Amino acid sequence: MTFDPNIAETRFGTGLSPRLAPPATLADMLDRLAGPDRIAARHRIPTWAEAAPTIREFRILSRARRDAADTPTEDEAEAAFAAIRLDATEARDRRLLSVMARHIDTDDGLRERLVAFWASHFTIRPRDPFSAHLVVPTIEQVIRPHVTGRFADMLRAVTTHPLMLVSLDQVDSYGPNSLLGLRRDRGLNENLARELLELHTVGVDGPYDQTDVRQLAKLLTGLTWDRDADPADPPLYRFDMAEPGAETVMGRTFSDEASLDTVLDALDALADHPATARHLAGKFARHFVADTPDPALVARLEAVLVATGGDLMALTEALLTHPSAWDPVPRKVKWPFDFCASALRALAIPAEDLFVLDRQGVTRQFRRPMTVMGQHWDDPPGPEGWPEAAEAWITPQGMAGRIDWAMRVPAEFRPDLPDPRDFVQTALGPLAGEATLFAASAAESRRDGIAVILASTDFNRR
């Protein structure tokens, strides 16, 4: 293995910066990750329990609007509802800017990359526009604290979180033979069980079938959340919704006592399953190293997960100490968000400059361009998260979006653009190829030169 600080910052971090030195050694890189999460304190994002507006507030105003229909107070109720929707949109924009500010300012870029990876792995896609602004606060609460912890703890936190329960309709899943299921003639919803098996743990090729999905769905009944509850309230376990009796999932029979402990026991069993280690190892290697990673790397990551009981810090260290992780040939493509953030980082844009943008500014500078590039930020195309294959991002439309952004946005944030001959070293250092170096020196203007560098293959790959 040959550690390279430039690869460390571009492949495993948020990009080179003229203001922040890359990690000097692998030990330095891991020490930063194991240390305090300073950037989260600097650019704070509220957790689910602190975020506003809440689902409860939306539901109260929704009922008020419905009850006020065809009455003298209809306009007033409609205005109150419109105001809270605007609050939610603005809160969502602030989250985008805060995450980008972290990418620009951090000296621990690996942590930001790990958060993004696990957030994509556990994609939460709200079913309505009233909770979309709560996705990032949820990630802050259930993903970020666990990226150096145990996978089982992250799985527990994500699976039992109210937003996951609501978005996958677990709150409407009743045991067919439960008290409420029989009384209301309601039945199972298999969404959470299916995603747990297919996406979050053993994988789509794992050792399960439809019977296991249904058995796990029965075991999960009772796990719910009151939509009118305070956001700080934990998820509920309702015995009158839970299917009585024991369930058997992939050959293991769990307690016949319907309880939250039984649910957590099942989640721990899924986290510890050998197929889960295999599934996670493959995804981890594909995300950070190559779309078709070295089988020896995947095998090593799998073995570490099994040996450590799902220790994610050990998983990350195993990745970074494998020779293929430092292959000088870049084989991954930056996601559009990472492209924009690393460009601003290389240009030394102060993170504070982001927060002067109004809603239209956020849309013009980031949301709309990233959508053109293929990433509708904080809303992946499906429950499987963001695609890994380079072909998903390097498309004619996607590249046109990157080129347009590179031509337009840097000068809006920094009218005094640097000399491209200097900037190519700042942004890429020794990773700049001859074609990019020549283009930087031959550009007719600073604006063109910066755009050529940012749109280059060298900058867009890692």
- Same domain, residue pair 131 and 173: no
Task: Round the CA-based radius of gyration of the chain to a whole number and report it.
Answer: 24
As a whole number, mean pLDDT of residues 359-379 equals 96
Give the list of residues 6+ apart from residue 157 with CB closer than 8 angstroms, or none. Answer: 141, 142, 143, 145, 146
- Same domain, residue pair 86 and 137: yes
- Same domain, residue pair 351 and 430: yes
Give the 3-state secondary structure of residue 121: helix
Q: Domain residues for 88?
A: 5-148
CB 320 within 8 A of CB 387: no
The confidence band for 127, taking pLDDT boundaries of 50, 70 and 90, is confident
CB 9 within 8 A of CB 16: yes
Q: Which of 138, 105, 121, 87 is nearest to 38 (CA)?
A: 105
- Same domain, residue pair 38 and 85: yes
The confidence band for 128, taking pLDDT boundaries of 50, 70 and 90, is confident
**Is residue 395 over pLDDT 80?**
yes
Q: Can you give the three-state secondary structure of 343-360, one letter per residue?
A: HHHHCCCCHHHHHHCCHH
- Same domain, residue pair 117 and 202: no
Neighbours of 392 (CB within 10 A): 16
| Helix or strand run (H / E) with residue 422 | helix 420-428
- Same domain, residue pair 232 and 141: no
pLDDT cut 90: percent of the chain above it = 92
Query: How high is the pLDDT of residue 230?
Result: 74
CB 252 within 8 A of CB 212: no
Strand boundaries in 244-393, DSSP class E: 248-249, 252-253
- Same domain, residue pair 177 and 82: no
| Residue where the block lists tokens 């058997």 | 248
Helix axes 312-320, 109-121, angle to 10 degrees: 120
> Last residue of a domain, which of 113, 148, 183?
148
Show the CA angle centred on residue 401, arms to residues 348 and 105, nearest 5°: 20
- Whole-number mean pLDDT of the chain? 96
**Is residue 231 over pLDDT 80?**
no
Peptide bond into 53 cis (omega under 30): yes
The model's pLDDT over 233-264, given as tens digits with 9 standing for 90+, comes to 777 899 999 999 999 999 999 999 999 999 99
Give the list of residues 6+ apart from residue 192 with CB closer than 8 angstroms, or none. Answer: 159, 164, 165, 168, 169, 170, 173, 217, 220
Query: How high is the pLDDT of residue 129?
Result: 77
The confidence band for 49, taking pLDDT boundaries of 50, 70 and 90, is confident
Q: Which of 402, 401, 397, 376 is nearest to 457 (CA)?
A: 402
As a whole number, mean pLDDT of residues 76-100 equals 95
Number of domains in the chain: 3
- Same domain, residue pair 132 and 70: yes
- Same domain, residue pair 423 and 348: yes
Half-sphere exposure of 191 (CA within 13 A, CB side): 17
Residue 85 forms part of a structural domain: yes
- Same domain, residue pair 189 and 108: no
Half-sphere exposure of 206 (CA within 13 A, CB side): 29
Query: How high is the pLDDT of residue 344?
Result: 98
pTM for the whole thing?
0.97
- Same domain, residue pair 117 and 182: no
CB 461 within 8 A of CB 334: yes
As a whole number, mean pLDDT of residues 285-313 equals 98
Query: How high is the pLDDT of residue 326?
Result: 97
* CA 166 – CA 59 distance, rounded (Å): 13
The model's pLDDT over 158-217, given as tens digits with 9 standing for 90+, comes to 999 999 999 999 999 999 999 999 999 999 999 999 999 999 999 999 999 999 999 999
Neighbours of 436 (CB within 10 A): 21
Alpha-helical runs (H) found in 53-161 = 55-67, 74-105, 109-121, 135-142, 151-159
CB 14 within 8 A of CB 335: no
| Helix or strand run (H / E) with residue 236 | strand 236-237
Residue 308 forms part of a structural domain: no
